[in-house]
Amino acid sequence: MYILLLYPSFVCSYEPIVVDVNEGRQIIDGIKKGDEIYFPFSFIKPYYEAYSSEKNGVVYFKHNNAIFRDVAGYTPTGNYLNFDKIAVENWDNYFDGHSIPVNNFRWGQHYYPISILHYGISHHAQKLKCGHNCDIDSNYDNSVDKWINYSGQDNISANGEGVRFTGLDSSYMLKINSSEKYINLDLAFRNANYRVYFEVETTDGIKHIQLNAGSGSHSLNDKYYYVGVPLKTFENRRITIFRDLQTDVKKMFGATYKSLLSVKVRGDVDVFSVSTSKTNHTRIIKRVADWLLEKQDSLGAWPSEFDHMFYSGRTEVMKAGWYSAMAQGLAISHLVRAHSLLGDEGYLDSARSALQIYSVPVSSGGVLDYYDSRPVYEEYPTTPSSHVLNGFIFALLGLYDLQEYDSNIYARDLYEEGFNTLENILPLYDMGNRSAYDLTHISSKTYPNIARWSYHATHVHQLKVMMSISKSTVIKEFHDRWYEYAFGFKVKTN
């Protein structure tokens, strides 16, 4: 494809030419028409990071692949930076027995608070979009006579509002036949002696997803996939187990989900209700908020329990147990929204506790660093300092949400100090035609780590929000200029 395709009227009067690029560094074929030279788009695309698409005979040319969305009207309980467009389910991860995402890193499988919070906040944003038209359950008759015994052992009985199963020798099936993507079980595990199976029809035949005591996730064979439910569950407490079967089938079997045929149960389990649903936003919002309550430590924070090298050659390895101000900010934002939706006071208490780590210096294991004596809340508490821009702003937004929602004075003070820093250090991220991802070029005295266009778009979105809530003329100047960078604008040369 030649760039000349942008000009459909050009059909003749051209001659093939050879183009020497940058003093012999590359030789390519081109086309000449009069005084105009045309290059192959296969050369233009990587050279200028340009993009094109064709539709109905028109070729659309873009300077980059940045996507901008309207993030105006930000509120602490509203749609968080259009996170409804985010689908953590499509990331490289699996979902544990409680449907919490676990990242598949190159260095292993780990819970990563930032990813988990993207999952929760994105479903809050999606719930706001669909309103009362989502999270509608299709309930199934859970009475004793509806469960089919296919083991020959009779170990089922009524248990109040539910059904009690006893012993691994007994096996029972409840027929479902639903194409809805979520299965929801309200149950209690009396001990680790149980199995729960979801029998699903896929484009690759009948498959089974098996839940039982343990951790991790792996294939048992081409028809069965195991998901461990952490042992903390076995406290005879009533919980909800839910699965996104569409995502499970894709990740586990590489197939497309068609329908849920049945639920099968063995072992010491009490089942109180069975339902399916097309969406499950409320349950996911609650599950992530509950995970935050369970995992929050004495510093009010959520550590990442793996070693991480942020930038090889510039920063030292962060040892397992490191904290992230971005995770803290996202956690506060999610807890505020979960409290607004569900009313659990524990969520608001947790958000308040999350402020502690903002005042703990990186040198003491916290997230507080400085640039020119000004406080910076670090996404990555590296040595030397990295000052990642998007992480810093996410940390600030969490503080803003809590100060507004809870009239929290401590959050307000942290926010105002951090915002003052932001206004003063923004020029350091301005590369004249794009933004920098961080300031490691300053701390390491080397070339800048230029933000890829998707992160540049994130910077623009964040500045739009900060501009709307602060009315800062400084923030507005950088927002407006950085937005234009995405359309080819460059600052003046001398």
pLDDT number for residue 235: 67
- Give the range among 190-194, 217-221, 239-243, 464-468 with minimum mean pLDDT: 190-194
DSSP line for 317-382? PBPTTB--HHHHHHHHHHHHHHHHHH--HHHHHHHHHTTGGGGSBGGGTSSEEEETTEEEE-SS--
Asked if residue 75 is part of any domain, the answer here is no
Q: Is the pLDDT of residue 104 over 50?
A: yes
Can you give the pLDDT at residue 43? 85
Report the pLDDT averaged over residues 58-66. Answer: 83
Domain harbouring 344, CATH code: 1.50.10.10
pLDDT band of 247, cuts 50, 70, 90: very high
Whether residue 329 is found in the same domain as residue 434:
yes
| Residue 5: pLDDT band with limits 50, 70, 90 | very low
Instruction: Tell me: pLDDT of 76 over 60.
Output: yes
Please check whether residues 228 and 322 belong to one and the same domain: no
- The 8-class DSSP code of residue 91 comes to S
- Tell me, yes or no, whether 72 lies in a domain: no
Residue 4 confidence (pLDDT): 46
Q: Is residue 235 part of a domain?
A: yes
What is the per-residue pLDDT for 8?
45
Contact 206, 253 (CB under 8 A): no
Tokens read off for 203: 């484009």
Q: The domain spanning residue 224 has which CATH number?
A: 2.60.120
233 confidence band (pLDDT: 50, 70, 90): low
Residues 351, 319: one domain?
yes
What is the model's pLDDT at position 403?
Answer: 98
Give the pair of three-digit tokens for residue 74: 């930000």
Q: What's the pLDDT at 39?
A: 82
Residues 223 and 71 sit within 8 Å (Cβ to Cβ)? no
291 and 255 in a single domain? The answer is no
- Residue 490 maps to a domain: no
Q: Do 207 and 303 lie in a common domain? A: no
Give the end of a domain, one of 278, 301, 331. Answer: 278
* Residue 12: predicted pLDDT: 55
Q: Has residue 114 been placed in a domain? A: yes
From CA 72, how far away is CA 419, in angstroms rounded?
A: 19
pTM over 0.85: yes
Mean predicted confidence (pLDDT) in 468-482: 97
Instruction: Of 215, 187, 183, 220, give the one whose Cα is nearest residue 200.
Output: 183
Q: Are residues 55 and 163 in the same domain?
A: no
Both 111 and 164 in a single domain?
Answer: no
Which residue among 278, 296, 316 closes a domain? Answer: 278
What rounded mean pLDDT belongs to the chain? 93
- Highest mean pLDDT among 7-21, 45-59, 136-150 belongs to 136-150
Average pLDDT over residues 436-442: 98
Do 157 and 258 lie in one domain? The reply is yes
Domain endpoint, select from 16, 32, 62: 62
Residue 344 CA, distance from chain mean position: 23
pLDDT-derived band at 77 (thresholds 50, 70, 90) equals very high
Per residue in 119-153, pLDDT (tens digit) is 999 999 999 999 888 999 999 999 999 999 987 77
Range of the domain at 116: 83-132+283-485
Within-domain flag for 491: no
Instruction: With a cut of 70, say whether residue 9 has pLDDT above it.
Output: no
**87 contacts 125 by C-beta, under 8 angstroms:** no
- Over 90: is that where the pLDDT of 230 sits? no
Q: 245 and 335: one domain?
A: no
Total domain count, the chain: 3
Radius of gyration of the chain (CA): 27
Give residue 393's pLDDT. 98
How far lies 102's CA from each of 185, 277, 460, in Å?
A: 21, 23, 29
Contact 345, 403 (CB under 8 A): no
Using a pLDDT cut of 70, give the percent of the chain over it.
97
Residue 401 domain-assigned?
yes
Rounded distance between C-alpha atoms, residue 416 and residue 167, angstroms: 59
Question: Is the pLDDT assigned to residue 65 strictly greater than 80?
Answer: yes
Q: Do residues 223 and 207 lie in contact, with contact meaning Cβ atoms separated by under 8 Å?
A: yes
Q: Per mean pLDDT, which of 29-38, 46-55, 215-224, 404-413 is the most reliable? A: 404-413
Query: How much is the average pLDDT of 231-242?
Result: 78
Q: Are both 317 and 440 inside the same structural domain?
A: yes
Query: Measured in whole angstroms, how far is the alpha carbon of residue 233 from the centre of its chain?
Result: 25
Task: Using pLDDT thresholds of 50, 70 and 90, give the confidence band for residue 160.
Answer: confident
443-451: long-range contacts, CB 8 A cutoff, minimum separation 24: 443/314, 443/384, 443/385, 443/386, 443/387, 444/313, 444/314, 444/315, 444/384, 446/314, 449/311, 451/389
Residue 71 lies in a domain: no
Quick one: CA torsion of 291, 159, 144, 236, rounded to 10 degrees? 30
pLDDT number for residue 7: 44
> Residue 460: what pLDDT?
98
Q: What is the mean pLDDT of residues 17-32?
A: 90
**Are 214 and 244 found together in one domain?**
yes
* Distance between CA atoms of residues 146 and 167, nearest Å: 19
347 and 405, same domain (yes or no): yes
The pair of structure tokens assigned to 466 is: 């900060």
234 has pLDDT over 70: no
pLDDT tens for 332-376 read 999 999 999 999 999 999 999 999 999 999 999 999 999 999 999
pLDDT digits (tens, 9 = 90+) for 252-273: 999 999 999 999 999 999 999 9
**pLDDT reported for residue 154:** 83
> Is the model more confident about 438 or about 45?
438
Q: In whole angstroms, what is the distance from residue 276 CA to residue 328 CA?
A: 33
* Distance, CA of 115 to CA of 117 (rounded, Å): 5
Give the pLDDT band (50/70/90) at residue 38: confident
| Mean pLDDT on 417-433 | 98
